[in-house]
Amino acid sequence: MEVSIGNMQVKLNIFQASQQPHEREECLLVDVVDEIVEEALPSILVEDPLEACLAHFGFENFDIAGSVEEVNVLLNSSSTPDSLPWKARFETLPPLSREPATPSLVTPPTLELKPLPATLKYAFLGP
């Protein structure tokens, strides 16, 4: 493959470039993804659902006193399901017609052509 920029031209053999090892230590995206997968895989492949939930929860920064206080505030608040500001309202639907609808191939619907402005005209494009 030849790449030219301005008056410079470089000839690059892609097949040889991909076979050569890296000259220096580099952090590639694949390396980072591999490390993340190795760290996360044991907690993902847990058979017991309770153990999987506890493994993903992250108890290291869990403040139980703050959580209990937050739950108590929510339970003592005045908005309970019985005191909702709206009431359920049901509307009856019209009765279904007992006769089945006829297919449009048997009785085609009537088309209603509306008047067009003087600048436009109807044109049949045909089959």
Are the C-beta atoms of residues 37 and 43 closer than 8 Å to each other? no
Given this model, what pLDDT does residue 104 score?
86
Amino acid at 77: S
Given this model, what pLDDT does residue 88 score?
81
Given this model, what pLDDT does residue 108 score?
87
Query: Each residue of 79-109: b (16+ CB within 10 Å) or e?
Result: eeeeeeeeeeeeeeeeeeeeeeeeeeeeeee
Tell me the average confidence (pLDDT) per consecutive run of 10 residues in the chain, 127 residues long.
81 70 63 79 74 67 77 74 72 83 86 85 79
Which of 69, 41, 68 has the alpha carbon at shortest distance from 56?
41
Given this model, what pLDDT does residue 18 score?
62
